[in-house]
Amino acid sequence: MWALFAKNWAGRENRDRLDLVNVMFLIWFISLFEARKEIDLFVEKIQKMFRLVPELLKAQKEENFDKLFEHIEKYETASDSFEVEIANYLNQVSAGCHRRLRKNG
pTM metric for this prediction:
0.63
Task: Give the mean pLDDT of 69-95.
Answer: 90
Task: Give the mean pLDDT of 51-66.
Answer: 94
Q: Give the chain's mean pLDDT.
A: 80
Sign for the pseudo-dihedral over CA of 88, 22, 20, 1: positive
43 pLDDT above the threshold of 70 = yes
12 pLDDT above the threshold of 70 = no
